[in-house]
Chain A
Amino acid sequence: MTFSKRGQIEVTFNWIYMVIAGAVILLFFFGLVVKQKQVSEERLSGDVVQVMSSILAGAGVSEKTKNFIDASGLADYTLYFSCDAGVSEFGIKDRPARTQNNIDPIFAPREIQTSRIVTWSLPYALPFKVTDFLFVIPSNVKYYILGNDADFVNEFLDATEGIERESLLNLHDIQVEANQEVRLIDTDGSSVPGSGVPALLQSFDDQKVSAVVFIAKNQADFYQKQGTTWRRLNKDAIRIISLGGERDAAKYAAIFSADDQLYQCNMQKAFKRLEFLTEIYGGKELALAEAGGKLQALITYYQAVPGSECKGYLGDYDLNALEALARLHSTTTACQQLAEHCLDLVDAAQKLKDANANLRIYCTPLY
């Protein structure tokens, strides 16, 4: 009897021991699997960000090119773009992987969840090339262009082949699929401000319907749907800092930017680069209205050429390269401190463009 009881205890103990040991081993492997899953997901999101960064870096330097990226593998992820104090951030929403950049201006919606992305780069010149603007355009956003600026409407339709876009005569003629996002481009401010949201778009989520309105010369306003009305996002007027012309990168940047904050933050990156470029062309001495850099090399060269008028175009005549470049430099510095000064960049750049045109005719151009 005693023997049987002892045996029973031993068997029970063995089973308990086995169950505990089994559970510990199982827990160990279960923990390992969970950890591995977590690491794999983090690695995958890191890889995605890295690959996307490489694609964006490549696209950014390939001037005037459009790249169509099949992102069907990323359709479950939401990519986000933000920009604050001249530093933009790009990553996958709710994941740790992200990358920051204070160099390349990237204009994009705030969030993207799509199976196809179009990247398009346009050179930004003021008046010489400053940088390439990169536009990130998801395939599920449809751009509707309307207004009386027929030249720009035609140019936009020509330039954006491969992107979902359509021109409208009347805002209320809009036809859109339920799963699409909508960006309206009002080329002259005659359609969006003062009118309500078209009936067809009223059922859409507010975040999925937005508008950019170009009013006057060099000015844009950003709007977001708010129920049945439009809410202007920018408090102050947003200036388009460019010399105009076809494929105006600064204007297209406004079209493909989510809002005024993302637009201005990325434009500031371009202005910072412009400051360094003016120093390459004119040296640090520009701050003292003196020549340095490439300009000084040109002045020194033409001083030694007897009878050459080039020195006059470079630094002596009314419209000369030194004065124009020094003004561009000081305006660029001022623009980075106070946005109101940025509009002066247009005039300063135009002056340098004119001075360079004279140099091109008579001597060696600056750029």
Chain B
Amino acid sequence: MGRKGQMQMTETIAILFIFFILLLFGIIFYFRYQQSAFQEKQEELLGVRAMETTLKALFMPELICSRGEAEPEDNCFDTLKLDSAAAVLEDNKDDYYFEIFSYAKITVHQVYPEEKEWLLYEKTKPESTRKEPTFFVVTLRDELSDSTQAQYGFGYVSVEVYS
């Protein structure tokens, strides 16, 4: 009887052991899955943020080519505004423009007629692990060119967002 009881006890312990092993496997599998799903979500959110930041930069009244009371020109930056925008964006970076761009770097590159670059906004994230760059082609209006009409160059805006 004593031996039978011992056998039963061993059997119960073995079953419990296997049960907990299976439970542990389940938990590990679940958390691994959650971790990868979380990472995927993070990447998706970073992509969305990159697009939104580019969109916001392209339509910023601080940069766009205005035409008096008429609608502004699409995908066009005013170079005279670009010259002064960097200082205003820098001065109000933490208390205002961070809310728009968050951790990002926005640079406008002129390719034609001559190469030029404006660093408009830069806020790096400490211990950032990833960055998502986005590029968009824009025209660059120079109203003080030598000709009587405004001259248009072209270039691209580069928006890098940090996660």
Q: Which 8 A-B pairs have the closest CB atoms?
A: A293-B84, A61-B59, A294-B80, A367-B66, A301-B144, A129-B61, A364-B143, A279-B88
Q: Is A208 an interface residue (CB 8 A)?
A: no
Interface, chain A (partner B; CB < 8 A): 50, 54, 57-58, 61, 63-64, 101-103, 123, 125, 127-132, 245, 272-273, 276-277, 279-281, 283-284, 292-294, 297-298, 301, 353, 356-357, 360, 364-365, 367
Interface, chain B (partner A; CB < 8 A): 45, 48, 52, 55-56, 58-59, 61-62, 64, 66, 68-69, 71-72, 78, 80-81, 83-85, 87-88, 91-92, 96, 99-100, 143-144, 150
Q: Flag if A130 contacts B61 (CB, 8 Å).
A: yes
- A61 and B72 alpha carbons, distance in the complex (Å): 12
Interchain CB contact (< 8 A) of B84 among A103, A127, A292? A292
A219 to chain B, nearest CB (A): 23
B143 nearest in chain A by CB position: A364
- A263 and B72 alpha carbons, distance in the complex (Å): 26
Q: Flag if B88 contacts A365 (CB, 8 Å).
A: no
Q: Flag if A277 contacts B59 (CB, 8 Å).
A: no
A243 to chain B, nearest CB (A): 9
- A101 and B64 alpha carbons, distance in the complex (Å): 22
- A129 and B63 alpha carbons, distance in the complex (Å): 11
A365 nearest in chain B by CB position: B68
B89 nearest in chain A by CB position: A276
7 more A-B contacts (CB under 8 A) besides A294-B80, A364-B143? A50-B45, A57-B55, A61-B59, A128-B66, A280-B62, A280-B88, A297-B144
Would you mind naming 13 contact pairs between A and B with Cβ atoms under 8 Å apart? A50-B45, A57-B56, A58-B52, A61-B56, A123-B71, A276-B62, A276-B92, A279-B84, A280-B81, A280-B88, A293-B88, A365-B68, A367-B68
Number of A-B contacts (CB under 8 A): 81
- A101 and B100 alpha carbons, distance in the complex (Å): 9
Q: Which of A127, A245, A280 has the most CB atoms of chain B within a 10 A radius of its CB?
A: A280
Q: Flag if B56 contacts A129 (CB, 8 Å).
A: no
Residues of B within 8 A of A102 (CB): 96, 99
- A61 and B88 alpha carbons, distance in the complex (Å): 21
Q: Flag if B62 contacts A294 (CB, 8 Å).
A: no
Task: Answer whether A57 and B52 are a contact pair too, CB < 8 Å, given A102-B99, A364-B144, A365-B68.
Answer: yes
A149 to chain B, nearest CB (A): 22
Q: Flag if B55 contacts A273 (CB, 8 Å).
A: no
